[in-house]
């Protein structure tokens, strides 16, 4: 196994939710000499310096300041930290017959529901504790590393038609079973007590939490030649890992343009949060970088005009059992390189100009490139690129590594595409 693949598996295993993905990126950036900046403070930025900004503990923006003029612009790779799944509701404990405790959950994004059945699940996320001020609670992160629960299937003996179509209720069918209690009253405050114990604090210190279910089965390689990656959250942590690797490995190279890695949150729910791509957070950061390097309103507008963005969100490889679902003339396959995503109705930001740019970048990096277009009878999803252009009129391309089973609890990607994408991103940052 090569070092990049091994590091990706480690990153996936250590990042079961958006908050922990950003926490891990933060620790890695600290170790590599990047300095954290706060949006609440004034900024001093040195040309060639390494910096990052965190938003809401779930989005992170790292950059290497250019040594050129402020108007020289930015090279940006954007991705997202969140993945579809399940969040724990408030007052989540529910007791069924026999004092069996289950948890009340809410679906986050658009997961493939039935892929979550019968898996060993646990909890990870953010916990808010009492602080010195009501406006400043203390943030802690939790990852319970052992299996705690499962969402059990109904036996086929009670649903003989399960293999002929099985409509699911998100409120009834998707509730994980966690414990058999001595008494029904033991359910009250169970999760609060659990996370308090995990963090080593008194339960009355826990004010609230954002907790996510995750599959405890580790990420792994499979295939006759270990050519495939199997894990949850490949969409979009694979692209996050590629962007991080490319930025940090090229950080020592002196360049006129400022290089940026922008990892947003809440892409899977529409990006409409303060840490999402539909907010002004990226524009605010880029404006402040421009001003800290001696620019003004005019140089910022010129910088945007000179900039280019790679919107990195994984794409769809053709499925060998469902080839008719793919466009008839564009068949991205695993291991054959990243895909450029195109949509006539502008669901992606790609146009002929930006596609041409990325093709040449891949050519210079000796990376093959593929094209993805939706089957015309099937509506496709959108991604970060076209959302960001509503506030930043950037040139840019939507792309991603091809994968299978997007939004499944367990997704599949190709080792070769991960390596290809790192090479392409590295070339983009230094071209």
All structural domains of the chain with their residue ranges? 3-83+232-430, 85-215
Residue 304 in tokens: 């945007």
In this predicted structure, what is the pLDDT of residue 153? 95
Rounded distance, CA 109 to CA 211, Å? Answer: 15
Give pTM, 2 decimals. Answer: 0.97
Using left for φ > 0, alpha for ψ between -120 and 50, and beta otherwise, residue 392 falls in beta
Rounded distance, CA 364 to CA 369, Å? Answer: 12
How many other C-beta atoms lie within 10 A of the C-beta of residue 333? Answer: 14
Task: Tell me: cis bond preceding 97? Omega within 30 of 0 counts.
Answer: no
Determine which helix (DSSP H) or strand (DSSP E) holds 91, and give its type and residue range. strand 85-96
CATH superfamily of 3-83+232-430: Zn peptidases (3.40.630.10)
In this predicted structure, what is the pLDDT of residue 169? 95
Determine which helix (DSSP H) or strand (DSSP E) holds 99, and give its type and residue range. none
Non-local (6+) Cβ contacts of 394 within 8 A are 76, 304, 307, 308, 309, 349, 388
In this predicted structure, what is the pLDDT of residue 383? 83
Q: What is the fold, at CATH topology level, of the domain defined by 85-215?
A: Aminopeptidase i, Domain 2 (2.30.250)
Which residue stretches of the chain have pLDDT < 50?
none
User: What are the phi and psi torsion angles at 331 (to 5°)?
Assistant: -125, 80
In this predicted structure, what is the pLDDT of residue 410? 98
Determine which helix (DSSP H) or strand (DSSP E) holds 95, and give its type and residue range. strand 85-96
Check residue 123 and report its DSSP letter. Answer: E
214 bridge partner residues: 122
In this predicted structure, what is the pLDDT of residue 285? 98
- Between the alpha carbon of residue 371 and those of residues 51, 398, 399, the distances in Å are 34, 11, 9
Same CATH topology for 3-83+232-430 and 85-215: the answer is: no
């Amino acid at each position: 196994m090569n070092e990049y693949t091994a590091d990706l598996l480690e990153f996936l295993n250590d990042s079961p939710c958006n908050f922990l993905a950003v926490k891990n990126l933060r620790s890695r950036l600290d170790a590599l000499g990047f300095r954290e900046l706060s949006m609440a403070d004034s900024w001093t930025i040195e040309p060639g310096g390494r910096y990052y900004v965190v938003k809401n503990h779930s989005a992170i923006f790292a950059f290497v300041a250019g040594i050129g003029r402020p108007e020289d612009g930015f090279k940006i790779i954007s991705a997202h930290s969140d993945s579809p799944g399940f969040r724990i509701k408030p007052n989540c404990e529910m007791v069924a017959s026999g004092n069996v405790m289950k948890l009340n959950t809410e679906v986050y994004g658009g997961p493939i529901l039935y892929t979550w059945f019968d898996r060993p699940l646990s909890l990870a996320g953010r916990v808010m504790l009492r602080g010195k001020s009501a406006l400043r609670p203390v943030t802690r992160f939790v990852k319970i590393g052992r299996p705690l629960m499962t969402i059990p299937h109904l036996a086929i003996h009670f649903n003989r038609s399960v293999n002929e179509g099985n409509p699911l209720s998100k409120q009834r069918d998707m509730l994980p079973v966690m414990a058999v209690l001595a008494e029904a009253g033991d359910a009250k405050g169970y999760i609060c007590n659990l996370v308090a114990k995990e963090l080593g604090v008194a339960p009355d210190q826990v004010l609230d939490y954002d907790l996510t279910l995750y599959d405890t089965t580790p990420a792994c390689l499979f295939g006759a030649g270990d050519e495939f990656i199997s894990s949850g959250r490949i969409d979009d942590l694979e692209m996050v890992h590629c962007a991080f690797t490319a930025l940090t490995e090229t950080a020592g190279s002196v360049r006129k343009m400022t290089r940026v890695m922008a990892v947003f949150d809440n892409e899977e729910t529409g990006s409409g949060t303060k840490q999402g791509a539909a907010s002004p957070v990226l524009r605010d950061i880029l404006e402040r970088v421009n001003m800290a390097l001696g620019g003004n309103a005019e140089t910022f507008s010129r910088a945007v005009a000179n900039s280019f963005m790679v919107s990195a969100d994984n794409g769809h490889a053709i499925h060998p059992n469902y080839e008719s679902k793919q466009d008839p003339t564009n068949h991205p396959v695993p291991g054959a390189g990243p895909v450029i995503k195109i949509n006539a109705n502008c669901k992606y930001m790609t146009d002929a100009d930006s596609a041409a740019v990325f093709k040449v970048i891949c050519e210079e990096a000796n990376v093959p490139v593929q094209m993805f277009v939706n089957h015309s009878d099937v509506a496709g999803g959108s991604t970060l690129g076209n959302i960001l252009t509503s506030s930043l009129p950037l040139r840019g391309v939507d792309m991603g590594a091809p994968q299978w089973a997007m939004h499944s609890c367990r997704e599949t990607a190709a080792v070769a595409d991960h390596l290809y994408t790192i090479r392409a991103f590295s070339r983009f940052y230094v071209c």
